[in-house]
Amino acid sequence: MSYLNTLMSRHNSVNRTSDDKLLGMVGHFPDVKASGRTWVHQTGAHVICRLVENSSGGTLAKGVAVTYEAGELLKKVDSETGAAGVVDGFVDPFIPDANVPDGEHFLMIIGGRCTAALAAAETFAVGDLVKSDASGLMTACATKTTAGYCGVVLVATTTNSDPVEILVDLQESVNQGNQF
């Protein structure tokens, strides 16, 4: 367990600290899912998060893919990932509010399980690959070498409006190999 884990939990992560010295810290959190008012463990694995700041000038929605600000690697994100862009992480879907306001600190998922937002009405099967589309949203892709590839579907979607559960795989990101 890291200092970051004692400072905040995933379900209460927006602006729990304004200390810029903590930006870039990594924490390992249990893979849990809300079930009513309790948290249920999904797997024995961990979700790996990095504390970052939203410096985009706007809000960032839960589950969207984001990209680091130039010159602020591992500390600040300045945009949602564009179509086929390099995904550096995902806005934690557990944040309590609908969006992360500009200038706020939040946990960005860089490894493990994540509920990602979809670009369009699509259904996915277990094992399908996803990539970034416009505005940090996910769409299907053919291979892991496709530009923007960032994960593998863990749970099949049953309707076209479901967010998709993925295993984050940031091959193109500076976070790749820098998660532990």
Using an 8 Å Cβ cutoff, are 151 and 166 in contact?
yes
Average pLDDT over residues 5-26: 66
Alpha-carbon Rg for the chain in angstroms:
15
Q: What is the DSSP letter of 43?
A: E
Using an 8 Å Cβ cutoff, are 41 and 29 in contact?
no
Q: What is the pTM of this model?
A: 0.85
Contacts of 6 (CB under 8 A, 6+ apart): none
Average pLDDT over residues 158-177: 72
pLDDT reported for residue 126:
93
- Average pLDDT over the chain reads 80
What is the H or E stretch that residue 150 is in? strand 149-155
- Residue 144's alpha-carbon distances to 17, 51, 86, 175, in angstroms, are 36, 27, 13, 16
* CATH 1.10.760.10 applies to domain 3-168: no
Q: Which two tokens stand for residue 26?
A: 């990594």
Average pLDDT over residues 50-55: 92
Q: Is the pLDDT of residue 14 over 80?
A: no
Written as one string, the DSSP assignment of 66-109 is EEEPTT-TTTEEEEE--TTPPP-EEE-TT-SSSEE-TT-EEEEE
Cα diameter, the chain = 43
Q: Is the pLDDT of residue 44 over 80?
A: no
- Closest CA relative to residue 174, chosen from 82, 23, 103, 70: 70
Q: 164-168 and 99-100 as β-strands: parallel, antiparallel, unpaired? A: unpaired
Note the pLDDT tens digit of each residue in 88-142. Answer: 999 988 887 678 889 888 889 999 888 888 877 788 889 999 998 888 888 888 8
